[in-house]
Structure 1
Amino acid sequence: MSHGLLLFAHGARDAAWARPFEQARDHITAQHGPDTPVVLAFLEFMSPTLLQAGEQLARQGCDQVTVVPLFLGAGGHVRKDLPALMDQIRLRHPGTTWRLAPAVGETDTLVRALADAAWQLAHPREQPGAGGDAA
Structure 2
Amino acid sequence: MSGAPAVILFAHGARDPRWAEPVLALAQRLRQALPEAFVQPAFLEFLAPSLSEAVDAALARGHRRVTLIPVFIAVGGHLREDLPRLLAPLRAAYPDVSFEVLPALGESERVREAMAATVLEWIGAGE
1:87, distance to aligned residue in structure 2 (A): 0.9
Do the aligned partners of 1:9 and 1:43 also contact (CA within 8 Å) in 2? yes
SS at match of 2:15: coil
Structure-2 separation of matches of 1:66 and 1:120: 33
1:18 alignment partner in structure 2: 20
Identity %: 34
2:34 alignment partner in structure 1: 32
1:41 alignment partner in structure 2: 42
Structure-1 separation of matches of 2:70 and 2:60: 21
Residue from 6, 9, 17 that aligns with 1:7: 9
Do the aligned partners of 1:58 and 1:93 also contact (CA within 8 Å) in 2? no
1:79, distance to aligned residue in structure 2 (A): 1.0
1:133 alignment partner in structure 2: none
Question: Structure 1 runs of 4+ off > 3 angstroms?
Answer: none
Structure-2 separation of matches of 1:125 and 1:64: 41
TM-score (norm 2): 0.93
TM-score (norm 1): 0.87
Structure-2 separation of matches of 1:52 and 1:70: 17
Whichever residue aligns with residue 84 of structure 1, its letter is R
Residue ranges of structure 1 left out of the alignment (5+ in a row): 127-135
CA RMSD in angstroms comes to 1.4
Structure-1 separation of matches of 2:113 and 2:93: 38
Structure-2 separation of matches of 1:125 and 1:117: 8
Do the aligned partners of 2:117 and 2:126 also contact (CA within 8 Å) in 1? no
1:63, distance to aligned residue in structure 2 (A): 1.2
Question: Residues 46-81 of structure 1: CA distance to partner in whole angstroms, max 9, x if unpaired?
Answer: 000001101111111111110000000101101111
Structure-1 separation of matches of 2:84 and 2:103: 12
1:91, distance to aligned residue in structure 2 (A): 1.2
Whichever residue aligns with residue 27 of structure 2, its letter is R
SS at match of 2:72: coil
Structure-2 separation of matches of 1:3 and 1:32: 9
- Alignment coverage as a number of residue pairs: 125
Structure whose CA Rg is larger: 1
1:116 alignment partner in structure 2: 117
1:41, distance to aligned residue in structure 2 (A): 0.4
